[in-house]
Structure 1
Amino acid sequence: MTELTLLGADGVVTSVALQDAPGFTRPDAPLSSRVAYAAAHVVPVVSADNTPGQPAQIDWDATLGFRRSVYGWGLGVADAMDTAQRNMGLDAAATRELIARSAEVAREEGGSVVVGVNTDHIDDEHIPLDRVIDAFKSQLAYTEDQGAGPVLMASRHLARAASSADDYRRVYREVLAAASGPVVLHWLGTAFDPALAGYFGSSDWRVASDVLIEIIGENADKVAGVKMSLLDAASEVSVRERLPEGVRMFTGDDFNYVGLIGGADVPQAAQPERDPASARRHSDALLGAFAALTPVASAAIQALDAGDADRYLAILGPTEELSRQIFAAPTFYYKTGVAFLSWLNGHQAAFQMVGGLHSARSLPHLSRIVELANASHALEQPELAADRWHAMLRLNGVGA
């Protein structure tokens, strides 16, 4: 039996048995009980200057190959979002090319793709609301021209420029009016980006959610859904139950997704209290975590499709501890864990990231990811993962 070497924060080396490959099977029909997107990362050219502040040079074969793999498991791809290092290394030129290439792959694979629309191509930190609106509209038009579904991401420019909730209402009203079809709105919490404090006009989620619901109500024909990433299950359920008919809640809660996605169909899953009379039985998914554990997520949703709530919980439940480790504070460095697992699982040749972000987590932190991925069957090729991890330990002077 192969042993998996682990490194603790105290420097102590231990080992556990390497689990067998999970044996999950790809779906033979589209997933039906939930709509699920994996927010995908990008893979840089290994020989590029992958250091802070340098332009992103993307390994397109590996980056797009990962997206093809996601489609093969029946999930959709959410691209050019924070998992792809928006505002953390992915520059405007690389973002535009990623959107175009990803949309083309989606057409080739028959998959569903949504992509982030932001204002981050503007270099000036402080711009007036009119420029915020124009910047949103510019990226929105480009995204629609590529044939991808837009996700209106939370904008740092808007957070800086807005002086009241009315400013948010105005910006979203004008941007949504320019959309040719329904879009997804994204509420990203400060754990992911501290610059977004007070988004939608308040630091109190209850007050801010009132503004969000008003924006959706005024533009219901232009909103397909909301992705909430506050890492607070109760706030998500509260907003979910207030959404107009036809507007989906896409959980972005990488801490509590098992209960939120399972919803009333999995009553034994840990989840916040919901109104039993509510027609909103569950959240759909748009998660960075699902990029780290795509086969497991697919197998769990296949179980829900088959009406097997116990199997859903048995498959997906153990991954939540892994996701909490990947997204541990400082949460915005979670991208490092996603790329690390991509490398362990053979989706890229090297553990490299745009902007040098592969150095953002410690070796003991990564060791805990390895341990939890092994325990939750998130290692797609366990022997390969063990070989790569042990080589990394040796490179860092840890015997394996």
Structure 2
Amino acid sequence: MDVVQERIDRFLERQRPVLRTIAPDLDPFALFSSDLLQGGKRFRALFCYWGWQSVAGLDTGFDPLGSPPDERALEAVMSASTGLEFFHAAALVHDDIMDNSDTRRGLPAAHRRFERLHREGSWLGEPGSFGTSGALLMGDLLLAWSDELVSSAFDDLPSRDAARAARAEFNRMRTEVTVGQYLDILEESAWRTVPDIDLLPRAQRVIVYKSAKYSVEAPLTIGAAMAGGSPQALESLRHFGLPLGIAYQLRDDLLGVFGDPEVTGKPAGDDLREGKRTVLVATARRALPPGAVRLLDELLGDPELDDDQIAMLQATLRDSGAVDAVEQSIADQVERANHALERSELSPSARAQLSRLADTVTRRTS
């Protein structure tokens, strides 16, 4: 969505002089934010837009592929969509800190860039600590900018009821993704104290709250609520969005282990070095013999894994049948999502577009 990128660029251009008025030393916040927000797949913006379109088409007879809607309503939904991209950027910055990741989208992660500033400036103290602190504050600033954009969008809605409903969806999303992120780091630390039989359902819980809801379901319902969607319309979108969001994250988990670095912008097997206790790993542990499980547990989370060890772990996961099982789960979740879409009362054009998006987000390579 080029229009979202244009809005991102315009917003950051307005923020640069504000930051410079405070201090020229704040230039990195604008620069690093701009770099992080360049490109991307814009899935959250797209789902917000089509959540809105689906209800607008249903309730008003408006054809999303035909004449344009009310300009004020369109401006509001595009502002909200842009705000969701800022929220996603903030989540990436914080996620990279927690995962100790070196790269994001082919560039150094934000905390590494602040760390480099410290080193190049020969400043006092420890560069890593400065980098973490700087990136934490950058993530917080992106969250503030996200709320600024989204709040202005809700304020511009002609219906106060729609604004309240959309704000409730946005607030729920922020709570869910934050606690979902905590559940993710909890699994990396506490898994040895958890019975083996509970590891898979706990990994599935992380998927739902860390990613599935905020990547697909919440953007859909925020957009639909902005259009004044009924509880039934929002529920239809939830039935579509949640299984699709689960499939989206399952694909992400596979890419985190097997993705091409030239495409993903992150090193091969990055999730293995970070020790991600994903559905893929939990599924493999259930199928592997005890000796292989012990080796997997020993190596997973070692940041010094070399290419040969990564290749060995990749082969172990494939041979266990876990990769095929996750691929089947993706297919099953997409089928659930499409079935919910077929049973919904959304406009035909919205159903067609959402079906195409479902295919795109689950077949992606980055």
With normalisation by structure 1, the TM-score equals 0.30
**The structure with more helix, counted as a fraction of residues:** 2
With normalisation by structure 2, the TM-score equals 0.32
**The structure with more strand, counted as a fraction of residues:** 1
